[in-house]
Amino acid sequence: MQLGMVGLGRMGANMTRRLMRGGHTMVVSDLSADAVNGIAGEGAVASSSLDDLVSKLNPPRAAWIMVPAGDPTEKTVQALISTMQAGDAIIDGGNSNFKDDVRRSKLCAAKGVHYVDVGTSGGVWGLERGYCMMIGGPKETVQRLDPIFKTLAPGRGDIPRTPGREKMAGTAENGYIHCGPSGSGHFVKMVHNGIEYGMMQAYAEGFDIFKNATSKELPEDIRYDLNLPDIAEVWRRGSVVSSWLLDLTAIALTENPTLSEYSGFVQDSGEGRWTIQAALEEAVPAEVLTAALYTRFRSRQDHTFAEKMLSAMRQKFGGHVEPKSH
């Protein structure tokens, strides 16, 4: 299948590579000519502008946007709407607010252009592992684009089937689902990231307790000098708290048990705030997720080992680089 990719950053470039490996034809665009030329050297079709990208796509066209959420995505969508024709599809694979998706889908519909929002998880590891995708938009359009989603997704792999799942249809076991109408994909991804905040915070606080088990404030006979890399490693093997985030934690602690290269300054990308806002609008208690978000705010003022843990996990799964400690 032919697809346009707008944005060749950490994820956009690797998604392009994975799709080309799967036999798809990619037309690419980016503000950086070097990025375009680099991917073109690997087999993609280069374009010099969004208009040029659209002109090189065959109807019904499909263009995937992988640029920062907010104004960059808004401008890209608006530019594509002005160029595309009825029957074409715009796919936003970034981290847009789901309410923006609803608004944009109406703008697209006025011109007969289909709008699909895809919450995408996989980070810098997605090229090899595949991407978990949560998709919103018109059912017929999502079905037409299924070859793209199927290639990007991880597939069943070696994960054991959930008991009873063999009686259920759908693509969830392959790593992607159609959640519902416009905005639902990014809504599910938003809550996914809110949960991610909470999980990361739980690991970070637990290991901070381990690190401070040598505190002079404790009676000498209950001070423990614990091996943090070993604890992370043993938990990966048979523990109920094992997860990919723990795998990444083990990598970071093995590389440097003190995490001295991390500042403890932890950014939030927006989805955590939006998750809490949605919880407020729905009158749903979300104490853990709210506390995890507030801890990220605090991390920008006062750094603890827990925040270094959070920085380490973000760097490992998403390539997020935080300022180095002084």
Provide the percentage of residues in the chain whose pLDDT is more than 90. 85
Residue 103 has pLDDT above 80, yes or no: yes
Q: Is-catalytic flag, 106?
A: no
The Cα–Cα gap between 263 and 261 comes to 7
pLDDT at 64 over 80: yes
Q: Contact 188/179 with Cβ under 8 angstroms?
A: yes
CA 225 to chain centre: 36
* Range in 77-81, 159-163, 190-194, 210-214 the model is least confident about: 159-163
Amino acid 323: pLDDT:
63
- Is residue 318 scored above 90 in pLDDT? no
Exactly one of 196, 271, 307, 322 is catalytic; which is it? Answer: 196
Q: Does residue 189 have an active-site annotation?
A: yes
Which of 74, 189, 271, 287 is an active site residue? 189
Q: Residue 8: its pLDDT value, please?
A: 97
Average pLDDT of the residues in 230-259: 96
In whole numbers, what is the pLDDT of the chain averaged over residues? 94
pLDDT at 324: 60
Model confidence at 325, pLDDT cuts 50, 70, 90, reads low
Average pLDDT over residues 16-21: 98
In terms of residues, how long is the chain?
A: 326
Q: CA-to-CA distance for 2 and 144, rounded, in angstroms?
A: 12
Q: How confident is the model at residue 31 (pLDDT cuts 50, 70, 90)?
A: very high
Beta-carbon contacts of residue 44 (< 8 Å; ≥ 6 apart): 5, 16, 20, 26, 27, 28
| pLDDT on residue 300 | 81
pLDDT at 264 > cutoff 80: yes
Instruction: Report pLDDT for 4.
Output: 98
Q: How far apart are CA 136 and CA 188, in angstroms?
A: 9
pLDDT average, residue stretch 60-80: 96
Q: Is the pTM of this model over 0.75?
A: yes
Report the amino acid identity of residue 95. Answer: N
